[in-house]
Amino acid sequence: MTYRRAVLPALVGGLLFTLLLWWAGASAQALQLRGSTSVFDVDSVNELRRWLMPWSYDSSVALPSDGSVDAATGGATRYANLYSTAMQIRFVAVFVFFLAGTLLLLRRIPPTRGRTPAALFALWAWGPVSATLAVTVSAPWLIASRGHGSYRVLPQLAGVIASSGPVPVFAGLLTALLTVLVARVSGKGAEPLPRRDVPARPARLAASAGTAVVALSLVVLSYQSVAARMQTSFSGAGLLSEPGDLLRQWLLLGAWTGPSTTSLGHWLLYRAADVLLLAVVWWSLRLLPGLLTRTTVPAMAVGAVCATVLGLLASQVLHMAIDDTAAVWGPVHMFSALGTGVPAALTFGVTAGLATLATLRLAGDRDPLPSSVVPA
């Protein structure tokens, strides 16, 4: 699909995704009404508020709670303006990131000739990624609006990055469905692009190399003792003395330990979610070179990020099925883990995509030249 045909569905998807997040943030005020606890229990209301507040324009969250700001001097207004600036940057950034990623994905995985399910899943996975990037870009303004931006700045930054929540996952699914529908209409009449046949052995080898990169985060770095050592290895003074929390967000896809505190069967059941994550990543990377119209570096990197996020979502859904905390904390709490780990999926997804592409090239797989440059 050419960029001219892809720009309309990308614009529609970007606008819809941004509007859904804005609508979700505006709905946070309804949870403060007196009758909200009669519809949901108190724990569910608090959990829903945590989901929606990262996308809310309610400036009261930016004001210090200790009364250190004198409203008579205009300090409260300045903090509220900083918060409004942070939210404006956040929504503009989420639109730009989703638009850019959708253009690339529709260009390289057009929803035609057997590629429609792949395009749908890729666009769905790109929603939480673009939300995480937007939250990261707007984090400095949001931290400054709280009135103590110089205190433990890196842990604060890690907390803001991890706050996007499950809302972009649900909004991304609705957006992906409409974007693919518009893209199919926009792509009518275009010359069909057949799927490229990738030799099985190079494809499996490349998928294994990319999956090994993701397994480094999931199996090695996410092990409890390794993660704890990583997070507590930094000491000293100054603004950059506590990068442990920030590294945890961008490097750890999960958290696990040995079966010493639980039964072996229960431990293996939870490890099945990690196996599912790696299986989804391997299968997606195995199919990705054949789904792409051209295996370029940006396409492989973004495609691998989407594959890692899909594996992460699959493992979280399995955790929801085997977890029994919904009976204690309410049904809303069951979905709270959706969307966590996306920063680490972005870090290792890009690396996995580059490793997959390099392995493909070393194994001898090459994209065919376009017909306009093939020598006669």
Confidence of residue 118 (pLDDT cuts 50, 70, 90): very high
> Distance between alpha carbon 35 and the CA centroid of its chain, in Å?
33
pLDDT (mean) for 92-111:
95
Residue 251 has pLDDT above 80, yes or no: yes
| Tens-digit pLDDT profile for residues 332-344 | 888 888 989 999 9
pLDDT (mean) for 141-166:
84
Confidence of residue 231 (pLDDT cuts 50, 70, 90): confident
Length of the chain: 376
Residue 234 has pLDDT above 90, yes or no: no
pLDDT (mean) for 151-170:
88
According to the per-residue pLDDT averaged within each range, which of 80-84, 112-116, 308-312 is highest?
A: 308-312
How far does the chain reach from its first CA to its final CA, in angstroms?
A: 26
- Which range, of 58-62, 74-78, 366-370, averages the lowest pLDDT? 366-370
- Report the C-alpha gap between 129 and 342 in whole angstroms: 6
Neighbours of 258 (CB within 10 A): 10
- Which range, of 18-22, 76-80, 361-365, averages the lowest pLDDT? 76-80
| Tens-digit pLDDT profile for residues 7-49 | 999 999 999 999 999 999 888 777 766 666 556 677 777 888 8
- Report the C-alpha gap between 90 and 159 in whole angstroms: 16
pLDDT above 90: percentage of residues in the chain: 48
| pLDDT score for 266 | 82
Q: In sequence order, which residues have a C-beta less than 8 Å from that of residue 314 and are 6 or more positions away?
A: 276, 277, 280
Q: What is the mean pLDDT of the chain?
A: 85
Which carries the bigger pLDDT value, residue 15 or residue 331? 15
Residue 371 has pLDDT above 50, yes or no: no
pLDDT (mean) for 272-298:
94
| Tens-digit pLDDT profile for residues 42-71 | 777 788 888 888 998 876 644 444 444 444
| pLDDT score for 72 | 44
Confidence of residue 370 (pLDDT cuts 50, 70, 90): very low
According to the per-residue pLDDT averaged within each range, which of 63-67, 156-160, 196-200 is highest?
A: 156-160
Single pTM value for the model: 0.90
